[in-house]
Structure 1
Amino acid sequence: MLPSQERLVLFSKRKGFSPVRDSIQKDDMDDPLRHGLWNALHVCIWDGNEYSHYSGTFQSSNLYGLFQCYWQNLFKIPLDNMPNYMDSVLTRLRETYYKVEWYEVYDFIEFTAQNCPEELSDSFVSFCNHVLENELSAYRFVGKQLTDITSEEEIESIEEAIKSSTKFTGASEHLKTSLGFLSDRKSPDYRNSIKESISAVESLCKAVSDDPKATLGSALKQIEKSHNLHPAFKKALSNLYGYTNDSGGIRHALLEEDSISYSDAKYMLVSCSAFMNYVLGKVSEKS
């Protein structure tokens, strides 16, 4: 009997070989993300439809003003083109939603958050943020506005570190594995992603210092002497490493906690990638 597909974490995901831009959805939107955001609309907005007890007509719905805003201010088409029945309006909206480009979907959900009935907006924003995090979107609602949580510079930093560290096999593998843990949309492992990020830096520094038994601290001292490593960067990296290794760090107390989030793991991956790029840059200047 074949194992359940839901339980499989395939090689490319474990090793982080999927491109960063495919893992973090910044310039596109896959079907699970699009479906999830539509479900947020369905559960939090459409199911919040209420009619006046007096007339019970479509025009008395608490969503009628939102639909008019769609036609007038978002789609910019004549209001007399809007159907006269709720089901017909939702059918038209669904057809449009699944035809438009990924960035227009974000326009649609942001516009909805800003123009829906006030009593529905908080649950809608919360539902959307849950979907955006689960599907590794590069965006989140802050208030009622979508903002970048993963910038182009951060993505480029991760990509550059993976590419530039290829000749340092251990460092490259740790970084790829960190990305794999972070980008597994079914069962992300933020704790191990953080551990792999700092292990990538540790592995690189050992390789560059040509001392496989060195601690990160001693390796940094050697790199500082031979490659003019700026003391401030050395101190920052040492502090970062200390955070993950002291009695209150990731490798100790947090192993038994559930408080580590996507933001924590992404911060460590981006920070460690930046440090690696800096060290690799200093090495290339000497070669």
Structure 2
Amino acid sequence: MRFSERYGYKPVRDIIQKESINLELRNSIWSIFNDCFWNKKHDYGRWNYYRDSNLRNLIYSYWFNLFKEPTDTIPLKTIDAIKHIRSFFFRCEWHTIYSFIEETLENYPEQYSVKEEVFITLMNRLLEKENSAYRIINNEITPITSEQEIQSIEDALINTNPYSSAQEHLNQALKLLSDRQSPDYRNSIKESISAVESICKIVTNDEKATLGKALKIIEDKLGLHPALKASLSQLYGYASDSDGIHHAMLQESNLSYIDAKFMLVACTNFINYLIEKTK
């Protein structure tokens, strides 16, 4: 992860790829297509010729539905058709890449050595690794991160400018969540919680306050609704209790991007709420 990402200078929406695809992700998506389709010459039948290949229907669908080009312009040789597909892929808009994936799933070759579920698994793993805001669900590209969630994270990073300790925890949570080489979802969750604890201590002016004590002070001082306080206490039960024992959820080995993103968004929502309440 580069300096601009580690220290919060790169916009959140550039880290979480929503309504965009960077070159690294585009290259990697193409590589999956290359490995699953274009390099599988033994699956082509008489692979030299497009019309004899079991990729025929897939290639035809690209021309008809995506390229919007006359189908009689499809090259006779499969390799030439692939060159045309590649040229289109690397010059099209970000959203067309996702349409390209959906078109492939809708016209996936039958009796093919790379099963459709394998292709989907490879693609979803890549989308998670590269912090795309989308996944393949029920053979459709589906957003898993909303504009409101990204806005909440961005607002919290701005709102915590006067509170360096809370901001550092948020930046670290985002860094650990979005590290493409070695994401650390467990510690990202801990950092998100630490950001809330930090802002609570600042608001209550008590460096030794536990989260539970801080919420009680905030409730008395700012009029925090008891039901909201209770829900926050349960949500942030992932944090250490009075004996320093971590919640069992943080000991699980299957924590995912979704878990860490949920906690980051939930914590930034509360931080934004709390800062607004104190104005």
Instruction: For residue 15 of structure 1, report the CA deviation from its aligned partner.
Output: 3.4
Q: How does 1:178-193 map to 2 (within 5 A)?
A: 178-193=173-188
Tell me which residue corresponds to 1:66. 58
- Does structure 1 residue 28 correspond to structure 2 residue 23? no
- Cα-to-partner distance string for 1:16-46 (whole Å, 9 max, x where unaligned): 4422111101122111100111011111233
Tell me which residue corresponds to 1:167. 162
Tell me which residue corresponds to 1:230. 225
The TM-score normalised by the length of structure 1 is 0.88
Q: In the alignment, which of 122, 131, 138 is matched to residue 127 of structure 1?
A: 122
- Does structure 1 residue 42 correspond to structure 2 residue 37? no
- Does structure 1 residue 80 correspond to structure 2 residue 72? yes
Percent identity, aligned pairs only, is 49
- Cα-to-partner distance string for 1:71-108 (whole Å, 9 max, x where unaligned): 11222211111100110000000011111111111111
Tell me the secondary structure at the aligned position of residue 245 of structure 1: coil
Q: How does 1:129-208 map to 2 (within 5 A)?
A: 129-208=124-203
Instruction: For residue 180 of structure 1, report the CA deviation from its aligned partner.
Output: 1.2
What amino acid maps onto 2:106 in structure 1?
A: Q
Tell me which residue corresponds to 2:213. 218
CA distance in 1, matches of 2:122, 2:204: 48
Q: In terms of mean alpha carbon deviation, does 236-245 or 250-259 score higher? A: 250-259
Contact 2:50-2:81 within 8 A present in 1 as well: no
Instruction: For residue 126 of structure 1, report the CA deviation from its aligned partner.
Output: 1.2
- Tell me: CA distance 1:57–1:20, structure 2 relative to 1, closer, same or farther (3 Å): closer
Tell me the secondary structure at the aligned position of residue 162 of structure 1: helix
CA distance in 1, matches of 2:84, 2:191: 47
Coordinate RMSD, CA, aligned: 2.3
Tell me which residue corresponds to 2:82. 90
Tell me which residue corresponds to 2:277. 282
- Cα-to-partner distance string for 1:219-255 (whole Å, 9 max, x where unaligned): 11111111111222211111122123359x9946566
Tell me which residue corresponds to 1:240. 235
Instruction: For residue 265 of structure 1, report the CA deviation from its aligned partner.
Output: 0.8
What amino acid maps onto 2:29 in structure 1?
A: L
What amino acid maps onto 2:88 in structure 1?
A: T
The TM-score normalised by the length of structure 2 is 0.90
Q: In terms of mean alpha carbon deviation, does 263-272 or 38-47 score higher? A: 38-47
- Tell me: CA distance 1:250–1:265, structure 2 relative to 1, closer, same or farther (3 Å): farther
Contact 1:23-1:136 within 8 A present in 2 as well: yes
Tell me the secondary structure at the aligned position of residue 19 of structure 2: coil
- Tell me: CA distance 1:18–1:51, structure 2 relative to 1, closer, same or farther (3 Å): closer
What amino acid maps onto 2:89 in structure 1?
A: Y
Where does the alignment leave 5 or more consecutive residues of structure 1 unmatched? Answer: 1-8
Tell me which residue corresponds to 1:4. none
- Tell me: CA distance 1:252–1:46, structure 2 relative to 1, closer, same or farther (3 Å): same
Q: In terms of mean alpha carbon deviation, does 118-127 or 267-276 score higher? A: 118-127
CA distance in 1, matches of 2:139, 2:270: 34
- Tell me: CA distance 1:252–1:241, structure 2 relative to 1, closer, same or farther (3 Å): closer
Number of positions where the alignment pairs a residue of Structure 1 with one of Structure 2: 274
CA distance in 1, matches of 2:133, 2:38: 26
- Tell me: CA distance 1:134–1:69, structure 2 relative to 1, closer, same or farther (3 Å): same
CA distance in 1, matches of 2:254, 2:8: 23
- Cα-to-partner distance string for 1:96-134 (whole Å, 9 max, x where unaligned): 111111111111112111212255422221111111111
Tell me the secondary structure at the aligned position of residue 36 of structure 1: helix
- Cα-to-partner distance string for 1:178-215 (whole Å, 9 max, x where unaligned): 11111221222211111110000000011111111111
